[in-house]
Amino acid sequence: MRKPKNGGVWMILPLYLFTIAFVAGPLIYVVALSFATANEGYGVTWSLTTANYTRILEPVYMKTFVQSFQLALTSTVLNCLIGYPFGYYMARLPDKQKKRAMIAIMLPFWVNSLIRLYGWIIILQKKGMLNHVLQSLHLIDKPLKILYSYPAVVIGMIYVLLPFMVLSVYSSAEKLDWSLIEAARDLGASGTKAFWTVTFRLTMPGLLSGIILTFIPSMGLFFIADILGGNKIVLVGSLIQEQMTRGSNWPFAAALAVILLVMTTLMIALYRKLTNAKKLEGMGWE
Amino acid sequence: MGMSRVKKNPRFAGFYLGLMFFIMYLPIAVVVVFSFNESKLPVAFTGFSTIWYEKLFQNDAMLEALVNSLILGCLSTFISAVIGTMGAVGLSKIRWRSKGAMEYLSILPLMIPEIILGMVLMAFFYMLGLPFGMLTLLIGHTIFCVPYILMEVKARLSGMDPALEEAARDLGATSFRAFLDITLPLCMPAVLSGSLLAFAMSMDDVVITIFINGPRVSTLPVKVYTQIKTGVTPEINALCTIMLGVTLLVLGASALVKRINKTGENADEKQAH
Amino acid sequence: MKNKLIELKDLTKNFDDQQVLRGINLDIYENEFLTLLGPSGCGKTTTLRIIAGFEEPSSGEVLFNGIEISKLPPYKREINTVFQKYALFPHLNVEDNIAFGLNLKKVDKSVIAQKVGRMLKMVGLEGFEKRDVTLLSGGQQQRVAIARALVNEPKVLLLDEPLGALDAKIRKNMQSELKKIQREVGITFIYVTHDQEEALSMSDTVVVMNNGEIQQIGSPTDIYNEPENRFVAGFIGESNIIEGHMLQDFLVEWDGFRFECVDKGFPENEEIEVVLRPEDLDIVSPDKAQITGKVISVTFKGVHYEILVETEYRTYMVHTTDYAEVGRKVGLSLGPEDIHVMWKMGAY
């Protein structure tokens, strides 16, 4: 109810200027860039074209989109299957254990993802730990070639993104009023029935926000594909990076980025629509 | 049928959680353990050794990258602390129409995929004619550091009685003095914990950095990234272990600040009753 | 007559599309204990914040000693405030909180120490200098807040529901303490509250507000005994409010009964409202009174009984120390001085 005081103006100024110059500015520039024409070699010509967008429809790039989409879908589905029970069971732990589990899940969040992925290289490589253990148990004769393959990338994706899913599910399951389940049971629902009709329905926002938090990044986490997938798996992210560096077709990279950005925005908007929530469930630091 | 029965986890839940946490920590443990391994092959532990750490410290390129990372982390954290804190305080005071949009825009860098932010900045800086290097890195890191501080300080401010600043002005302080004597000291814990997060994020970033670092400047994570791509050496294990240690240290400090933060808030609450 | 210190002239205030003050005119005098009383949302706090300088009026003037100050920032006004939840600075100890204003004025350290000591003595907190303000009780925090404001020697002290956060017993103590402090420092206190009992027991002047307008200004006795309209009568204490006619000067009629009264100056046959305070009504035997009815409920209120008497036309509330059992037929007696005639709401 209070009036704006002049004091606020000069305080806000740096943030306004900085944000407009370096957040809004670049985003607007890239949208513009996506309609420009790439020169042979380097640089762009500012003749308006939608060619960059139609180019995405070319089979070779569509394949990349489909491949990233598939990978994102695979890792998101697996993330749900692994992360939902994880977050759900965590929310039902006794308070003290719950706190410990919370710390345990937050900690890897802050460990550089490269370090964690590097650990997987050590485990998965041909002469690595996994093969060593499996061979000494005589479960396999020849070492498995997991590293630099599709499964390795999926493992990496799940590994990096799982905490987002777990935290999302956890934070909505944590808020759950358990007496509702008792009420459902009391009204004659079986355990399974009570779960699907009450628990699952009420933890839906958490699962949805987990899906968004894992699906969008998995389209763009090119360095996972890079490290664990060798050069075999090309994602939209890798494509953007390649176009920015070796391919040096910036307008095309800009168009790809804009598409990804629009998808991100749409998914967040959809989430808000579905759950009426102002922010995503379980965004770590809040 | 009581509360306990509904709330109790099935027996395999404990096993499941245990297994998941084991898998989560296994790669990290592997990295740390093999950094102390005598053998170059990370298959079995053959004996304790610190040789890889010694080798690491003779690697000048690594040390240079470390220094770059530290400078970058400190500077971008400091700048974003100033912008973010003033911005959060300013946002709490103004009632402009653009306020909501600005708030959204200023935390947007956390919501869009890193790769997009990276490429967007690369294109933008090139257009501006900024030479890729420390300056572009500084701007880039500040962009994604500001939201952490902004959000922490905003949360702190929303728990603060607006009458405190009014009281200061009532007692003769100009609004600038009121900010300096009252608001800033009370926000300090949030500024600190936000800064620690921002610093950790800056020290951690690969994706945005490799777009805007240019050919001559490298940071520690970027160095690790290029090394990992070429293969496994225990030297990287040693480096990763050190980075892990630093991260844990920063986290511990942040938790400590948070705790101080908490007691401050409790005091506010107590005062209200 | 004392000197006018503050004059509010045609003050209005809009927040967005909402008008919260609709033309406030008020004179505030030196050494006066003035209370702004009204339900929440009536504009009393906004009025106070305009006097303090936290809000600017949308139109109208605020004169301080005859000088217009409505654009002056708070730190340039000789006015200090005691905030609703005290607003003590949690990172400063008791002494530094109280010395805050003096430090800003760069007053000599030894003078500050002396003044702070004197203030602490006045509010009964000697020896509390180094205490952590967040660890004080509500009542103690309240005293620190008062000391912090008064140490600056303002001409006016504003108090925004300062006792609202305290429990009933401490509240009673603080009421008399505040009154005592006001007499001691001899400055104007402007006090905001929604508690009518608090307002009546402490004030020299009570200003009843509703809907952004002043309903009545007067001494506590005036306000209580001669409410000017239905709102004031209803807000100040419980009352029976009855619609009737003023037949002529000193003669009023309702429900077909005629009573002598002490009011005059209304047009003949004017529709008016009559206020009957429950404690002014007496229960007598039915043959001794015009109004008769049946007791329908009796509630013991600690000191008196609250008795509801149902008559042919309406139900009356009576406060009396005499007991009357439910179902008994009783009469209600009242004298001319117990009848308060008011203009009907909306008639002017």
- Write out chain C residues lying below 8 Å of A2, CB-based: 54-55
Q: Assign A277 a pLDDT band (cuts: 50, 70, 90).
A: low
Query: Which A residues, 2 through 21, put their C-beta within 8 Å of a C-beta on chain C?
Result: 2-3
Query: Which B residues, 150 through 209, put their C-beta within 8 Å of a C-beta on chain A?
Result: 150-152, 155, 162, 175-176, 178-179, 197, 200, 203-204, 206-207
Q: Is residue C231 in a domain?
A: no
Angstroms from B14 CA to nearest CA on chain C = 43
Q: Is C290 strand, coil or helix?
A: coil
Angstroms from B270 CA to nearest CA on chain A = 23
Q: Is residue C34 in a domain?
A: yes
Nearest CA in chain B to C137: B271
At A186-232, the pLDDT tens digits run 787 777 888 888 888 888 888 988 888 888 777 778 888 888 887 77
Please give the order of strands across the beta sheet that includes C282-284.
C282-284, C329-333, C291-300, C305-310, C315-320
Residues C113 and C29 in one domain: yes
As a whole number, the mean pLDDT across chain A is 83
Q: What percent of chain A has pLDDT over 90?
A: 22
Residues C24 and C129 in one domain: yes
Domains in chain A, CATH or no CATH each: 59-283 (1.10.3720.10)
Between CA B74 and CA B111, with CA B141 as vertex, the angle to 5 degrees is 130
Containing structural domain, residue C151: 4-225
- Write out chain B residues lying below 8 Å of C81, CB-based: 166-167, 170
Nearest CA in chain B to C84: B163
Whether the pLDDT of residue C348 is over 70: the answer is: no
Domain count, chain C: 2
Whether the pLDDT of residue A285 is over 80: the answer is: no
Of C160, C190, C225, the last residue of a domain is C225
The predicted pLDDT at position B213 comes to: 92
- Write out chain A residues lying below 8 Å of C56, CB-based: 3
Angstroms from A48 CA to nearest CA on chain B = 17
Q: Is residue C285 in a domain?
A: yes
Q: Is B90 strand, coil or helix?
A: helix
Q: What CATH number should be reported for the domain holding residue C274?
A: 2.40.50.140
Mutation site for B-interface testing, chosen from A6, A22, A147, A268 by largest number of B Cβ within 10 Å? A22
As a whole number, the mean pLDDT across chain C is 90
Whether the pLDDT of residue A284 is over 60: the answer is: no
Angstroms from A12 CA to nearest CA on chain C = 20
Domains in chain B, CATH or no CATH each: 59-272 (1.10.3720.10)
Residues C210 and C253 in one domain: no
Residues C162 and C303 in one domain: no
**Element (H or E) spanning B251, and its range?**
helix B234-272
At C183-194, the pLDDT tens digits run 999 999 999 999
Mean of pLDDT values over C12-25? 90
Token pair of C164 as six digits: 């609202």
Mean of pLDDT values over A7-11? 76
Contact at CB, B106 and A19, closer than 8 angstroms: yes
Q: How far apart are CA B218 and CA B66, in angstroms?
A: 9
Higher pLDDT, C48 or C41: C48
Nearest CA in chain A to B144: A23
Nearest CA in chain C to B162: C87
Residues C140 and C206 in one domain: yes
Q: Is residue C183 in a domain?
A: yes
Prediction pTM value: 0.76
- Contacting residues for A269 by C-beta, under 8 A, at least 6 apart: none
Q: Where are the alpha helices (DSSP H) in C186-219?
A: 196-202
The predicted pLDDT at position B6 comes to: 47
Q: What CATH number should be reported for the domain holding residue C124?
A: 3.40.50.300
Q: How far apart are CA A229 and CA A236, in angstroms?
A: 14
Contact at CB, A125 and B155, closer than 8 angstroms: no
* A9-18, A88-97, C202-211, range with greatest mean pLDDT: C202-211
Q: Is B19 strand, coil or helix?
A: helix
> What's phi and psi for C73, nearest 5 deg?
-65, 155
Whether the pLDDT of residue C1 is over 60: the answer is: no
Q: Is residue C275 in a domain?
A: yes
Whether the pLDDT of residue C3 is over 80: the answer is: yes
Higher pLDDT, A129 or C330: C330
The predicted pLDDT at position C345 comes to: 67
The predicted pLDDT at position B261 comes to: 63
A27 closest CB neighbour out of B7, B120, B250: B120
Q: What percent of chain C has pLDDT over 90?
A: 55
The predicted pLDDT at position B273 comes to: 41
Mutation site for B-interface testing, chosen from C48, C83, C106 by largest number of B Cβ within 10 Å? C83
DSSP conformation class of A198: I
Contact at CB, C75 and B163, closer than 8 angstroms: no
Mean of pLDDT values over C248-264? 90
DSSP conformation class of C22: E
Q: Is residue C145 in a domain?
A: yes
Is the distance from CB of A240 to CB of A252 less than 8 angstroms? Answer: no
**Element (H or E) spanning A107, and its range?**
helix A95-110
Whether the pLDDT of residue C63 is over 60: the answer is: yes
Whether the pLDDT of residue C99 is over 90: the answer is: yes
Residues C168 and C301 in one domain: no
**Element (H or E) spanning B116, and its range?**
helix B114-128
Angstroms from B45 CA to nearest CA on chain A = 11
Mean of pLDDT values over C247-269? 89
Chain A to chain B, count of Cβ pairs less than 8 Å apart?
254
Residues C215 and C246 in one domain: no
- Write out chain C residues lying below 8 Å of B169, CB-based: 53-54, 73-75
10-residue stretch averages of pLDDT, chain B, 273 residues long: 51 89 92 87 80 87 90 96 94 83 87 88 92 95 94 88 90 89 91 87 88 90 86 83 82 77 52 43
The predicted pLDDT at position B184 comes to: 93
At C148-198, the pLDDT tens digits run 999 999 999 999 998 887 888 888 888 989 999 999 999 999 999 998 888
Mean of pLDDT values over C256-278? 88
C263 has a chain A CB within 8 A of its CB:
no
Angstroms from C91 CA to nearest CA on chain B = 7
C15 has a chain A CB within 8 A of its CB:
yes
Whether the pLDDT of residue C109 is over 70: the answer is: yes
Q: Is residue C214 in a domain?
A: yes
Whether the pLDDT of residue C12 is over 50: the answer is: yes
- Write out chain B residues lying below 8 Å of A184, CB-based: none
Q: How far apart are CA C205 and CA C199, in angstroms?
A: 9
Of C175, C203, C225, the last residue of a domain is C225
The predicted pLDDT at position A19 comes to: 93
Query: Which B residues, 126 through 145, put their C-beta within 8 Å of a C-beta on chain A?
Result: 127, 139, 142-143
Contact at CB, B43 and A129, closer than 8 angstroms: yes
C91 closest CB neighbour out of B161, B177, B186: B186
At A68-99, the pLDDT tens digits run 888 889 999 999 999 999 999 998 888 888 88
The predicted pLDDT at position B92 comes to: 86
Q: Is residue C172 in a domain?
A: yes
**Element (H or E) spanning B141, and its range?**
helix B134-158
Whether the pLDDT of residue C81 is over 80: the answer is: yes
B268 closest CB neighbour out of C90, C105, C152: C90
Q: Assign C98 a pLDDT band (cuts: 50, 70, 90).
A: very high
SS3 helix, strand, coil % of chain A, rounded to 5? Answer: 75, 0, 25
Amino acid in position B133: G
